[in-house]
């Protein structure tokens, strides 16, 4: 275990825990990770105190206990239900245009909490390090996670570190779990879509999937596509202020828009019909998909959500979203219909109609 937490400050020898941490950090001298950094001994302690505590230090984390102890009264003050989620990140390469695996690890878990309307509060961080990983790369990723956590108002409060032999992992795997609190009266579920509801997305599709593919340098394509990775909790807050009764909400990560819509249709036993010409997409993403034979409806995103809202609230939700940087390109792309139940249909740009089914396999491996 590399991190634990008490919500109370601990004084050691008349120094605050923060001062004690400041005295301990900056002790790791190796340039690459070796097996001793996972041994549980001094090398591991140096790694934890230098890289992780050095980046994530906060009053809740500093005591370095083996667990996170949270004050229930503080949680209850933010809502009446607890939201808990976990996700693992195995992206290759670790660094890509617009971000790195640390960007995904924080924003991805924050967004998973936000999709039920929760206010994200605490994150855990589990690291699986491969022998030979450059320490400087690990520092950069930890610094990114710190910056993302600070920007979103969450604290990284507990976690774990493991080191595996060279070849047993692809440099670095990260697991983050998150805790948030759902405000009273918010009831978002994939099973709540109703005929007549409108389908809304918050911006351009496919940026992340294309950015990762091109970052692998396996194709002779030159473009400036960057990941769309961003936190969405504040955008969701604005949406709920405009429409407290959002029916469905989900971020379109692996499997993209097509997968999310199928999940809504199946869970709610309704049909969904979308319009291809209404879907926001960058021209360079469209071009890359056409060239590579990819369907952009299934490309991964890391900063895009799909919402289903009552028809009377659709315009006001769009207006609220477009006032937020994460929703500037928000659009209504379709509606919920009664039949065929459990099916997603798309009106194509050529005037036809096609079924948007679930993918059988994976278009792109190791996207997030």
Per-residue pLDDT tens over the stretch 198-212: 999 999 999 999 999
What is the pLDDT, as a whole number, of residue 160? Answer: 92
What is the percent of the chain with per-residue pLDDT over 70, rounded to a whole number?
A: 89
What is the pLDDT, as a whole number, of residue 15? Answer: 30
What is the percent of the chain with per-residue pLDDT over 90, rounded to a whole number?
A: 74
What is the pLDDT, as a whole number, of residue 86? Answer: 97
What's this model's pTM, rounded to 2 decimal places? Answer: 0.89
Q: Model confidence at 70, in pLDDT bands (50, 70, 90)?
A: confident
What is the pLDDT, as a whole number, of residue 3? Answer: 44
In this predicted structure, the answer to whether residue 9 has a pLDDT above a threshold of 90 is: no
What is the pLDDT, as a whole number, of residue 366? Answer: 54
Q: List where CATH 3.30.1330.10 sits in the chain.
A: 11-182
In this predicted structure, the answer to whether residue 18 has a pLDDT above a threshold of 60 is: no
CATH architecture of 198-355: Alpha-Beta Complex (3.90)
What is the residue-wise DSSP string for 207-251?
HHHHHHHHHTT-S-------------HHHHHHHHHH-TT--EEEE
Nearest to 88 by CA among 65, 105, 71: 105
Tell me which fold the domain 11-182 belongs to. 60s Ribosomal Protein L30; Chain: A; (3.30.1330)
Q: Which two tokens stand for residue 355?
A: 């079924």
What is the SS3 assignment for 265? helix
Higher pLDDT pick, 220 / 121? 121
What is the SS3 assignment for 79? coil
Contact 268, 196 (CB under 8 A): no
What's the average model confidence in pLDDT over 91-95? 94
């Amino acid at each position: 275990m590399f991190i634990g937490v008490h919500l109370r400050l601990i004084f050691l020898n008349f120094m605050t825990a923060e001062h004690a941490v400041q005295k301990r950090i900056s002790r790791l001298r190796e340039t690459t990770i070796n097996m001793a950094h996972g041994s549980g001994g001094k090398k591991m302690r140096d790694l934890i105190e230098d890289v992780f505590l050095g980046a994530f230090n906060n009053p809740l984390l500093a005591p370095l206990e083996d667990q996170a102890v949270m004050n229930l009264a503080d949680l209850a003050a933010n809502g009446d239900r607890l939201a808990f989620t976990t996700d693992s990140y195995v992206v290759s390469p670790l660094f890509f245009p617009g971000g790195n695996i640390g960007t995904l690890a924080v924003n991805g878990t924050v967004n998973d909490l936000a999709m039920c309307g929760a206010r994200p509060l605490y994150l855990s961080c589990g690291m699986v390090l491969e022998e030979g990983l450059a320490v400087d790369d690990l520092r950069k990723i930890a610094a990114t996670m710190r910056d993302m956590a600070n920007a979103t108002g969450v604290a990284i409060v507990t976690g774990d570190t493991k080191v595996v032999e060279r070849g047993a992992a692809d440099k670095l795997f990260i697991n983050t779990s998150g805790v948030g609190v759902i405000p009273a009266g918010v009831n978002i579920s994939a099973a709540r879509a109703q005929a007549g509801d409108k389908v809304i997305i918050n911006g351009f599709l496919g940026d992340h999937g294309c950015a990762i593919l091109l970052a692998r340098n396996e194709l002779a394509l030159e473009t400036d596509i960057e990941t769309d990775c961003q936190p969405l909790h504040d955008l969701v807050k604005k949406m709920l202020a405009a429409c407290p009764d959002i029916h469905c909400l989900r971020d379109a990560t692996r499997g993209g828009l097509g997968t999310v819509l199928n999940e809504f249709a199946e869970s709610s036993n309704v049909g969904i019909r979308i319009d291809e010409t209404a879907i926001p997409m960058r021209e360079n993403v469209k071009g890359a998909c056409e060239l590579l034979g990819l369907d952009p409806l299934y490309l991964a995103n890391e900063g895009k959500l799909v919402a289903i809202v009552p028809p009377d609230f659709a315009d006001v939700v769009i207006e609220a979203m477009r006032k937020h940087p994460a929703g500037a390109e928000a659009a209504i792309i379709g509606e919920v219909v009664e039949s065929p139940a459990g099916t997603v249909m798309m009106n194509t740009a050529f005037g036809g109609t096609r079924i948007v089914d679930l993918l059988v396999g994976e278009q792109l491996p190791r996207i997030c």
